[in-house]
Amino acid sequence: MREKKIKEKRALFGRRLGNGLQLVLVGALTGAFVGVIVTCYTLLAAMSEEFSRGYYGFFRDNPAFIPLLFLALALGSVVVGGIVRFLPYIRGSGIPQTEGSMRGLMRFSWYRSLTGMFVSSLLCIFLGMSAGSEGPSVFIGGSAGAGVAETLRTSAFIRRYQVTGGACAGLAVAFNAPLTGIVFAFEEGQKRFTPEVFVCSFTSVTVAVLIRNLLLAALGRPVGAFFSTFSFSQADMLAPVFYAYVLFASLIVSLVGIGFFFALFALKKLFSKIKFWKGIGKFLIPFLLAGAVGLIAAADMGGGHVFIASLGSGSEGVGSVFSAPLWASLIIIVLLKLLVTAFNMGAGVPCGAFIPMLAIGAGLGALMGLLLQKMGMPSGYADALIVICMAVFFTTVVRAPLTGVIMTVELTWNFAFLLPAVLGVAVGYLIGDVFRVKPVYERLLDEMLFEGGNEKVERFAARFCVEETSPVIGRKLSDILFPSDVRITRIERGEERFIPDGNSRLQAGDILTAEGELFAGSDAPDQLTEMLGEPLKE
């Protein structure tokens, strides 16, 4: 009996070691692929944004040629709309559908989607839209992870880990923020922590960021903090009065975030009614709007990296709009950024909204800093307030507080404002709860799944016997990445039958009852078969 238990433990250790090594290897391969592709993508995006600023400046100086700009924007909207028509999964920032793929709710052709998002989002940036590269980087990374899985012919079970690792590696490369990428996998991607997700995500992110930094160093480009113009050494971040400033600013920024959230989905509902030219015509509106905004306020072009950096005390400052004073220019820039970002997301333009939301939060933080300085706040707190408000706006809309806090620390390579940031993010999260705001990417994913008749009509129920070779043996249910919307409702172990909880460990020979409601076309049954074994015939 004792020898049998020793053999079982050795077999269990061997299985776990084998699974762990497999995840490390596929995670490293995924990270290498993502590191190269996303680094190339972000470099091209930065070049496209810089070029667009140049030719928009030409049109401002030569208004007689402005009609040519709008003609180019109209043609660009047709091209991008046509791509989205044939590749509907690339619409929007790409993060909602990537999360759907992480959870096994969506599957799409990885190379078509990767290429489509790569080309269309770069075209949007080149045309001067308020478009970031971070959301598409997540999508491209997730698609690359799916591509590695398909090339290696890994199981659907492992494939989800690779998609998750690729997506968080894409975000980490775009921001040079590895911890943010890893936390994003748990908090926003899978909505829970499992050892396997950590191993694959950590490996993918580490390899991808290493490759990113090596490539940039080889090209002579900086690899340091994303935003280096902010200074946090001029004020005491732990002073009680600063917490009062943060509390007040966070409340105002959170309320603006709530307004942005509801405006976004109101616009999305309106855009869904535009059927002109099979839906391609609706892209004309955000493209022409982006052209007008780009001519008015250059700070609103691109994702917002330049605008955010210009708010730091170590920069030359924000350029004036219509020769207006700083506070008026900031109001114009923030309002226009809110408008074009909501229109882009509402219409489903394939461009990032991640950094534009951070830019909105930073602009609001700068406005609150000016207001509070009039009320007696020392100017040394201004930079910290801007960065904190970035995290507050992001948390209010996206509902990912850990990602928001860690991201601001990594983007500035400074944690002096960490405790005030936690307070601000807590305010944003609570305000979101008060107004019952659902995470924006979660709601966008739900709406995407329900479009085109893809409704939850399929009731799923099956019994599986855990095979001797199953990778789940010895693991707690809470540590197993089961398909989304599938629950284990009963375990039969010999003569014993019980309702499991998260701490229940699975053994070989266990008979599990799995139930759930699945979207049409879900591969959840196949995933369960690969994880547990063939379903039992009734």
The CATH number given to whatever domain includes residue 522 is: 3.30.70.1450
pLDDT of residue 520: 64
Q: How far is CA 142 from CA 107, 129, 273, 351, in A?
A: 11, 24, 30, 16
- Can you tell me the distance from the alpha carbon of 508 to that of 526, in angstroms, rounded to the nearest whole number? 19
Instruction: Give start and end residues of each alpha helix (H) in 229-353.
Output: 240-271, 284-296, 305-311, 326-347
Which among 16, 316, 303 is positioned nearest to 136, based on CA atoms?
303
Residues 6+ apart with CB under 8 A from 240: none
Say yes or no: 92 and 176 in one domain.
Answer: yes
What are the backbone angles phi and psi of residue 514, rounded to the nearest 5°? -110, 135
Could you report the per-residue pLDDT of 323-334, keeping only the tens digit for each? 889 999 999 999
Domain boundary among 218, 253, 281: 218
Per the DSSP assignment, residues forming a β-bridge with 505 are 476
Backbone angles phi, psi at 227, to 5 degrees: -120, 110
Torsion of CA 334, 338, 344, 350, to 10 degrees: 60
Euclidean distance between CA atoms 158 and 22, whole angstroms? 9
Residues 430 and 479 in one domain: no
Residue 538 lies in a domain: no
As a whole number of angstroms, the distance between CA 372 and CA 251 comes to 13
Please check whether residues 31 and 105 belong to one and the same domain. yes
Distance of alpha carbon 434 from alpha carbon 210, whole angstroms: 41
* Same domain (yes/no): 430, 490: no
**What was the pLDDT predicted at 454?**
53
**Residue 244 belongs to some domain of the structure:** yes
Contact between residue 415 and residue 448 where contact means Cβ atoms under 8 Å apart: no
**Residue 212 included in any domain:** yes
The domain boundary, picked from 386, 415, 449, lies at 449
- Specify if 224 maps to a domain: no
- 234 in a structural domain: no
Residues 252, 358, single domain; the answer is: yes
Q: Which helix (H) or strand (E) holds 514?
A: strand 511-518
Whether 464 and 445 map to the same domain: the answer is no
Is 394 exposed, middle or buried (CB count within 10 Å of its CB: 0-12, 13-18, 19+)? buried
Residues 164 and 292 in one domain: no
Please report whether residue 15 resides in a domain: yes
Residue 227 within any structural domain of the chain: no
* pLDDT of 485: 76
Question: Quick one: DSSP state of residue 190?
Answer: I
Query: Domain count of the chain?
Result: 3
Spans of the chain, pLDDT less than 50: 7, 10, 12-14, 17-18
In which residue are the tokens 């699975």 written?
Answer: 506
For residue 464, how many C-alpha atoms fall within 13 Å in the half-sphere facing its CB? 26
Is the same domain home to 445 and 467? no
Instruction: Indicate the burial class of 465 (C-beta count within 10 angstroms; 0-12, 13-18, 19 or more).
Output: middle
The domain that holds 265 is classified in CATH as: 1.10.3080.10
* Cα 270 to the center of its chain, rounded Å: 25
Same domain, 209 and 286: no
pLDDT in the model for residue 290: 95
Closest by Cα among 414, 410, 356, 46 to 221: 46
Q: Rounded distance, CA 306 to CA 324, Å?
A: 20
| pTM across the whole model | 0.90
Domain boundary among 398, 424, 449: 449
Q: Are residues 324 and 434 in the same domain?
A: yes
**Does 387 lie in the same domain as 245?**
yes
DSSP 185: I
The DSSP secondary structure of 414-455, one letter per residue, reads --TTHHHHHHHHHHHHHHHHHTTPPPHHHHHHHHHHHGGG--
Residue with tokens 């509801």: 262
| pLDDT number for residue 190 | 81
424 CB-contact burial (10 Å; exposed 0-12 / middle 13-18 / buried 19+)? buried
| 336 CB-near residues (< 8 Å, 6+ apart) | 293, 296, 297, 300
Tell me whether residue 308 is in a domain: yes
In the prediction, which pLDDT does 455 show?
A: 54
- The pLDDT of residue 95 is 92
Is-contact 209 215, C-beta < 8 A? no
147/32 Cα distance (integer angstroms): 12
Shared domain check, 23 and 88: yes
The predicted structure's pLDDT at residue 163: 93
Give the Å distances, CA to CA, from 532 to 7, 301, 322, 358, 509: 21, 50, 65, 43, 10
Residue 48 is part of which domain span? 2-218
Q: Could you give the C-alpha distances from 427 to 85, 255, 257, 296, 419, in angstroms and in order?
A: 40, 10, 12, 34, 13
Distance CA 512, CA 463 (A): 5
Q: Give the position of tokens 């391969």.
A: 29
* Residue given tokens 């004792």 in the structure block: 2
Place of tokens 């061997």: 14
Rounded Cα distance between 141 and 164, Å, is: 9
**How do beta strands 496-498 and 511-518 pair?**
unpaired
